[in-house]
Amino acid sequence: MGLVMSQQKSFDLNLFRIFTAVYRTSSFSRAAEELDLTQSSVSNAITRLKSIVGEELFIRVGRGVKPTASAMNLYQQLATPVSEIEQVASSFELFEPSNSERTFYVYASESAIQLLQGFVEKLLEELLINIVFREPPLIEEELQMDLQLGKVDLALDIWLPESASFQSQKVMQDSLVCVARNDHPRINGSITQEQYFNEKHIIFKMRRDNLSVADLLTKQVLPARKMHSEQSSILSMMAIASKSDALAIVSKSYSNEYARMFGLQVLELPFAAEPIEYHMVWSQKLQQNPANSWLRDLLNQAIVNRQRVSF
């Protein structure tokens, strides 16, 4: 579908920007929030674009909207140029760290917060800037929407987005280990597969399809394990492991930091597992934004500083 606008001498390019926002968010209200417009302004803009294109663009479904085939075709033509325009516009935003009092919000997994927060605070000592870490929402779509709407500036997680609306960078890698209390009656210094599956387990639940971290990262399908308890905090898992015979799987860097404090022995897993890969994720439209670029650089520096201390 090509746009026929012979009678449109002064076409409003904002209609394209509003259209792509509605398409990405599947909602007039979310698009309005992202663009700082009223919902009626967004609705009127889509109506105007529909009259120019001559075809229906969105169908109402529940509380949101669903694009028609015509809208999908139009979005394919517009997504890249609109994104490039937004990047250029965003690059003009002024940001000077030395006199800024801005607060940045970063979604980060519990382990990433624990490992990096102290190093980030050290880098901010001479500045009035504040960086607030938040654990991400349980539903992945909410995390993506919050990044698109600017509710958070960046995410630091093992989640890697598939959408072209985001940019990402791998920033850290970690491995998985098993922990058990030091005076465990059956385990001392190492563990076999048979021992592992004979014990009860503290399971850490993740956002991805309600999988455990072990199920997500192991290279083989694991047999069913006897569950001791289910936790959403790694520190809670380690505390429970220290007071029971149950086993837990945690990241190696976490065990380096806290195993001694909790009186835990650290054991190599008795099966092959993929490394944990942490990615920095941000909205594509902020790729050239000075403030977001500075935030990414600062977090990268905090990661480098932490790695220097670790080795």
| pLDDT computed for residue 236 by the predictor | 93
pLDDT of residue 92: 73
Query: Has this prediction a pTM greater than 0.85?
Result: no
For the chain, the first-to-last Cα distance in angstroms comes to 57
Beta bridge mates, 250:
177
Measured distance CA(153)–CA(299) in Å, rounded: 12
**Mind listing the pLDDT tens digit for each residue in 264-310?**
999 999 988 888 889 999 998 899 899 999 999 999 999 999 888 76
The string of DSSP codes covering 212-278 is BHHHHHBSSPPPP-EEEEEES-HHHHHHHHHTSS-EEEEEHHHHHHHHHHHTEEEE--SS-BPPEEE
Q: Which helix (H) or strand (E) holds 154?
A: strand 154-157
The chain-wide mean pLDDT, for the chain, equals: 87
Question: In this predicted structure, what is the pLDDT of residue 249?
Answer: 93
Give the residue ranges of the chain where pLDDT is below 70: 1-10, 206-221, 310-311
- 30-57: pLDDT as tens digits: 899 888 889 998 999 999 999 998 999 9
